[in-house]
Amino acid sequence: MGDSLPSERTIATHYGVSHFTVRKALDVLERDGIVIRMQGKGTYVKSPQLTVDLQSMGSFSSIARGRNSSVNSRILYSGIRKAKFKYSHIFGISEDSDVYESIKLKISNDVALAVEYTAVPLKYIPDVAEYDYSVYSLYDVYSKNNIDVALEDQRLEIVTIYNPIASLLDKEEGDTIFLLTSWAYDRVGNLIEYTRLYDNDDRLIFRAHGSDALERSEL
Amino acid sequence: MSKYTNLINEDIREKLEEYIFKNNLSTGDAIPSELQLCKILNCNRFELRKAIAKMVGEDILFTVHGVGTFLAPPKFEENSSSYVGFTSFWQSKGHRSSSKILKFVKTEANLKTANMLGIPLGSAVYELKRLRLIDDVLVSIETSFLEESSCPGLLTCNLDGTTSLYQVLKEKYEMTVVNQQQTIRTAKLRQEEADLLCLKEGAPAFYITAVGLTENGTCIERSISISRADRFAIRYQAKQ
């Protein structure tokens, strides 16, 4: 991890293959996230990426529970604001109702994985601002309020980022990364949480399982 | 904590989104000029430009230099929780979908394909590379690998245009893909991919490797797809 590979020319000579073949092979390794090529600097072995399964609720807590148990959160901001247009539009609540907002940096082994923006209307979880989120997860707090997240609707896209998100994730302004937006609903269909997770795509990849059985049950 | 206050402050963006919504602006509509917007939103040019840059970065707006800034079309959202094939999925969502064959040959399975399909290295496989269009927009380049012995004679089937590979597998070979597992990464378009999608080299894209499984868990297809990030998103519903 972090080691550099010999030059393309050296590899070609060593294996007795053409420069073109070496380049093709490195193309494949780069796409699969095994090496990273730096313009003018060479090719390096990448640290292994963590896999987030879109099927698991509260995707990040699931990584934390898995074999990579070193993911933790640093709270950068938390507070209560008025819904105004933005959240009244998202949650279908009045513009002057209160919404809890937090921003967390997800870290693993001193490496920044993601910046997470969360919004929760106080209407559903009145005491949401009163917990210590270095100890509890939001899902713990929902349970305490007898609310279960029954459905997480997620949207994964690739976006261009700017500071301060870029610098928090050790990226440059103008780089592209994953953005995972998620809408969490309780059993009766109320939207209780809206999250935007900006993921460092060098550190994280996603997995999705699709089946026609799910589609049938939805209809 | 004050160090991070600019993380939460998206005031101008919120106001601009409110303006767009309340004025019913839709795909292709222009937003007012910078000067006008500064007055409408009561902000300075610097703040406005930052807000617009972020929205352009998320493909909500796009700028044509010297002309103006416009509302971008919504991204095509592929639902990966219920996804069972390109053609049937997009058609069920009311979109026109079609393909153009770039390459369709019989070849030998490389290590990865052999492992995924559970066949010996070097076995005969079909390699089918297609350009995928949704509503006539070039969206993806997809390469599928299928074992020859599971679908002999596939090369003679017409898979161009609006024909679905999964439909052919089902009707002609009695194999139904009921489950698809995807691994999703980011990538930058290489020159030849960019040329095919009419984009610039280095443009961001999804790099998705997938396997298609039948009812009894047999893997019958391995695929690799590259989808442009400015027009494509993945949707996934996780249920408890």
CB contacts under 8 A, B 45-64 vs A, are: 50, 53-54, 56-59
| Residues A100, A193 within the same domain | yes
Q: How many angstroms separate the CA atoms of A47 and A69, rounded?
A: 16
The nearest alpha carbon in chain A to B59 belongs to A159
Within this chain, do residues A32 and A105 fall inside the same structural domain, yes or no?
Answer: no
Residues B50 and B80 in one domain: no
> Do residue B45 and residue B89 come from a single domain?
no
User: Is some CB atom of chain A closer than 8 A to the CB atom of B2?
Assistant: no
Q: Is B77 on the interface with A (CB under 8 A)?
A: yes
Are the beta carbons of B8 and A79 separated by less than 8 Å?
Answer: yes
Number of domains chain A is built from: 2
Each residue of A103-126: pLDDT tens digit?
999 998 888 999 999 999 999 999
Cβ atoms of B11 and A85 within 8 Å: the answer is no
Can you give the CATH number for the domain in which B51 is found?
Answer: 1.10.10.10
Do B25 and B46 lie in one domain? The reply is yes
Residue A69 and residue A63: Cα distance in Å, rounded? 7
Statement to judge: residues A38 and A61 lie in one domain: no
Question: How confident is the model at residue B133, as a pLDDT?
Answer: 95
Whats the size of chain B, residue-wise?
Answer: 240
Tell whether B178 and B97 lie within a shared domain. yes
Residues B168, B108 within the same domain: yes
Distance CA(A8)–CA(A21), nearest Å, equals 10
> Do B109 and B65 fall within a single domain?
no
Residue A29 belongs to domain spanning = 8-45
| B236 with A150: Cβ contact below 8 A | no
Q: Is B24 on the interface with A (CB under 8 A)?
A: no
- C-alpha distances (whole Å) from A31 to each of A28, A106, B111, B189 are 5, 25, 16, 10
Structural domains counted in chain B: 2
Tokens representing residue B90 in the block = 């997009």
* Contact yes or no for B234 and A208 at CB 8 A: yes
Label residue B7 exposed, middle or buried (CB < 10 Å: 0-12, 13-18, 19+).
Answer: middle
Share the mean pLDDT of chain A. 86
Is A26 in the same domain as A64?
no
The rounded distance, in Å, linking the Cα atoms of A162 and A176 is 9
Share of chain A above pLDDT 90, in %: 50
**B80 vs A56, A150, A208: nearest CB:** A208
Report the C-alpha gap between A130 and A146 in whole angstroms. 16
Residue B197 is assigned to a structural domain of this protein? yes
Residues B164 and B97: their CA atoms lie apart, in Å, by: 10
User: Do residue A153 and residue A171 come from a single domain?
Assistant: yes
Q: Are A33 and A73 found together in one domain?
A: no
The string of pLDDT tens digits covering residues A165-218 is 999 999 999 999 999 999 999 999 999 999 999 999 888 889 998 876 544 444
Q: Do residues B36 and B96 both lie within one domain?
A: no
Buried b (16+ CB within 10 A) or exposed e, A71-83: bebeebbbeeeeb
Fill in the DSSP letter of residue B159.
Answer: -
Question: Could B4 and A77 be called an inter-chain contact, meaning their C-beta atoms sit closer than 8 Å?
Answer: yes
* Per-residue model confidence (pLDDT) at position A61: 55
Tokens encoding B134: 């949704």
Q: Which residue of B has its CA nearest to A154?
A: B236
Q: What is the DSSP secondary structure assignment for residue A118, as one 8-state letter?
A: E
With respect to residue B240, please indicate whether it lies within any of the assigned structural domains. Answer: no
- Residue A124, in any domain of the structure: yes
Residue of B192, B198, B232, B187 lying closest to B83 (CA atoms): B232
Residue B4's pLDDT is 59
Strand partners, A57: none
B85 & B162 share domain: yes
CA–CA distances in Å: residue B206 to residues A2, A131, A166, A181, B85: 24, 38, 20, 16, 17
With bands split at pLDDT 50, 70 and 90, how would you rate the model's confidence at A134?
confident
Q: Is residue B34 a contact partner of residue B45, using CB atoms and an 8 Å limit?
A: yes
User: Is the predicted ipTM greater than 0.85, yes or no?
Assistant: yes
Q: Is the preceding omega at residue B32 within 30 degrees of 0, hence cis? A: no
| Cα B44 off chain centre by | 36
Assess whether A188 and A113 both reside in one domain.
Answer: yes
Listed residues B71, B90, B105: the one ending a domain:
B71
Is residue B97 situated within a structural domain? yes
CA distance between the termini of chain A: 47
Q: For residue B57, give how far its alpha carbon lies from the nearest alpha carbon of chain A (Å).
A: 4
Is residue A93 domain-resident? yes
Reported as a single tens digit per residue, the pLDDT across A50-74 is 888 888 766 555 554 445 557 788 8
Instruction: Check B7 against A165: CB less than 8 A apart.
Output: yes
* Residue among A212, A217, A218, A219 with most chain B CBs within 10 A, to mutate: A212
Task: Sort out which chain B residues have CB atoms less than 8 A from A148's CB and list them.
Answer: 240
pLDDT at B58: 95
Same structural domain, A73 and A163: yes
Nearest CA in chain A to B60: A159
Q: In this structure, are residues B231 and B150 in contact, taking their beta carbons and an 8 Å threshold?
A: no
Cβ <8 Å between B239 and A208? no
A38 and A63 share one domain: no
The yes-or-no verdict on residue A219 having pLDDT over 60 is no
Domain boundary among B43, B71, B99: B71
Q: Which H helix or E strand runs over B71? A: strand B68-71
Length reported for chain A: 219
Kindly list the residues from chain A whose CB atom is less than 8 angstroms away from the CB atom of residue B180: 209-211
Per-residue pLDDT of chain B (240 residues; tens, 9 = 90+): 445 556 667 899 999 999 999 999 999 999 999 999 999 999 999 999 999 999 999 999 999 999 999 999 999 999 888 767 888 888 888 999 999 999 999 999 998 899 889 899 999 999 999 999 999 999 999 999 999 999 999 999 888 888 889 989 999 999 988 889 999 999 999 999 999 999 999 999 999 999 999 988 899 999 999 999 999 999 999 887
State how far the Cα of A82 lies from the Cα of A80, in Å rounded to an integer: 7
Looking at the fold, whether B54 and B124 belong to one and the same domain comes out as no
Same domain, B108 and B37: no
Q: Which of residues 99-118 of A touch B (CB under 8 A)?
A: 101, 103, 115
> Residue B162 sits in a domain of what CATH number?
3.40.1410.10
Is B45 in the same domain as B101? no
For residue B19, what are the domain limits? 2-71
Distance from CA of A10 to the nearest CA of B (A): 24
**B173 and B206 part of one domain:** yes
The CATH number covering residue A198 comes to 3.40.1410.10
Q: Could you give the CA distance from residue B125 to residue B148 in angstroms, rounded to a whole number?
A: 5
Residue B179 lies in a domain: yes
Domain membership flag for residue A2 = no
pLDDT bucket at A29, cuts 50 / 70 / 90: confident
Based on the fold, state whether residues A72 and A23 are members of the same structural domain: no
Chain B contacts of A31, Cβ < 8 Å? 185, 187, 207
pLDDT tens per residue across span B24-62: 999 999 999 999 999 999 999 999 999 999 999 999 999
Domain boundary residue among B71, B96, B130? B71
Q: Which two tokens stand for residue B81?
A: 């929780």
- A38 and A136 part of one domain: no
pLDDT of residue A179: 96
* A218 falls within a domain: no
